[in-house]
């Protein structure tokens, strides 16, 4: 007799994402030990972290050149995840997310005491704790830190630690791209570019979302997508110019600052003509980086640094 699939519908990018199915996949990813550096929150939501973990498994272990970030009921990814982990799926297919189990394994003893208090007040308090007290606010001062929330700043610092990236660089890039607003919904009137680093529609689609969906997120939540976008360049970004190139022209990462990005006549040159500071009909990496470097200088001044 053929064994029933542990999930009813697809999970991940463009999936059905039934909450119980998502929980099952999240537990399988955690049990496999290959999903991520830290365990996924088993919350029934197919967010960026879950999709990234699925893609990581597909890329590293299934050797997919173009991972789709989705787990299908009869698909290869699910077969890999369930190999040797039948106990995970059999006992948890229909169960609700177990926050207590997750907390007891991953959070500090101080958090344990808060969790006990939360259980008396219900799941809404637990959700608030997850959002606001997992990581204490950072006291470190960074460029533009005075212009964002403490939770935003703390999250940027944590992301940059994982990317081996100077947080001053990332903050200055976001300040430049968002017109110093750090708004997740700010749009370029001449293109589909949206949000903190002006995600293009094609870029958003490649990450399993859309610019409309990104615009509806909080600034803190949109940082998950900023992290995902920068992750392939972890450890490689040592200058403000290279950091900005990830956003503007990724092929220029690691190139000399004299490298020509765009030249006239071309559409890309016309769109970015304002960066041609010497008027020679060419935009170099140095010229493009200078605009963001100016934001870095401003962001480190009193009233902006914090």
pLDDT (tens place) for every residue of the chain, 306 residues total: 455 788 989 999 888 888 889 999 988 988 877 554 567 888 889 888 888 888 888 888 888 888 899 999 989 999 988 885 444 444 443 343 443 444 344 334 334 444 444 444 444 434 444 443 344 566 789 999 999 999 999 999 999 999 999 999 999 999 999 999 999 999 988 889 999 999 999 999 989 999 999 999 999 999 999 999 999 999 999 999 999 999 999 999 999 999 999 999 988 888 888 899 999 999 999 999 998 999 999 999 999 999
Structural domain of 63:
11-97
User: Is residue 265 domain-resident?
Assistant: no
Cα gap 304→120, rounded to integer Å = 41
- 42 shares its domain with 179: no
Q: 19: cis peptide before it, omega within 30°?
A: no
Residue 246 near residue 230, CB atoms below 8 Å? yes
Cα gap 114→136, rounded to integer Å = 14
Tally of CB atoms within 10 A around 69 = 26
Give pLDDT, residue 31: 82
* Distances in whole angstroms, Cα of residue 23 to Cα of each of 7, 40, 91, 105: 10, 10, 12, 17
- 167 shares its domain with 47: no
* pTM assigned to the model: 0.56
- 126 shares its domain with 149: no
- 239 shares its domain with 155: yes
Residue 188 has phi, psi (to 5 degrees) of: -80, 125
| Lookup: tokens for 158 | 């944590």
Give pLDDT, residue 118: 45
| Lookup: tokens for 153 | 């700043």
- 292 shares its domain with 242: yes
Cα gap 35→225, rounded to integer Å = 17
- 295 shares its domain with 180: yes
Cα gap 18→73, rounded to integer Å = 12
User: Is residue 21 domain-resident?
Assistant: yes
Give pLDDT, residue 2: 52
- 166 shares its domain with 112: no
- 149 shares its domain with 234: yes
Residue 111 has phi, psi (to 5 degrees) of: -70, -30
Give pLDDT, residue 59: 87
Give pLDDT, residue 137: 63
Cα gap 275→248, rounded to integer Å = 12
- 108 shares its domain with 79: no
Give pLDDT, residue 145: 95
Residue 203 near residue 209, CB atoms below 8 Å? no
Give the number of domains in the chain: 3
- 193 shares its domain with 293: yes
Give Cβ neighbours of residue 275 (< 8 Å, ≥ 6 apart).
Answer: 283, 287, 288, 291
- 90 shares its domain with 156: no
User: Is residue 151 domain-resident?
Assistant: yes
User: Is residue 271 domain-resident?
Assistant: no
What crossing angle do the helices spanning 123-132 and 109-121 adopt, rounded to 10°?
A: 150
């Amino acid at each position: 007799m053929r064994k029933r699939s542990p999930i009813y519908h697809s999970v991940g990018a463009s999936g059905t994402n039934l909450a119980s199915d998502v929980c099952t996949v999240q537990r399988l990813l955690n049990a496999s030990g290959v999903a991520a550096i830290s365990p996924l929150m088993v919350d029934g939501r197919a967010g960026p972290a879950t999709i990234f973990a699925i893609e990581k498994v597909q890329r590293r272990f299934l050797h997919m050149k173009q991972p789709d970030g989705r787990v299908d009921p009869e698909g290869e990814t699910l077969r890999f995840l369930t190999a040797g982990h039948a106990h995970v799926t059999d006992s948890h297919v229909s169960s609700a997310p177990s926050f207590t189990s997750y907390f007891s394994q991953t959070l500090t003893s101080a958090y344990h005491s808060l969790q006990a208090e939360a259980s008396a007040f219900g799941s809404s308090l637990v959700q608030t704790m997850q959002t606001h007290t997992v990581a204490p606010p950072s006291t470190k001062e960074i460029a533009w830190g005075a212009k964002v929330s403490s939770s935003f700043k703390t999250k940027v610092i944590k992301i940059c630690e994982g990317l081996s990236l100077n947080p001053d660089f990332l903050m200055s890039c976001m300040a430049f791209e968002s017109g110093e607003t750090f708004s997740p919904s700010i749009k370029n009137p001449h293109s589909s570019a949206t949000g903190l680093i002006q995600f293009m529609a094609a870029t958003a689609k490649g990450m399993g979302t859309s610019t409309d969906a990104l615009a509806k997120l909080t600034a803190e939540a949109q940082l998950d997508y900023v992290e995902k976008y920068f992750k392939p360049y972890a450890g490689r970004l040592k200058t403000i110019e290279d950091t900005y190139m990830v956003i503007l022209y990724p092929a220029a990462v690691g190139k000399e600052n004299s490298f020509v990005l765009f030249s006239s006549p071309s559409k890309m040159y016309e769109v970015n003509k304002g960066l041609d500071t010497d008027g020679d009909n060419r935009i170099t990496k140095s010229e493009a980086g200078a605009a963001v470097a100016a934001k870095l200088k401003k962001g480190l001044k009193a009233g902006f640094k914090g």
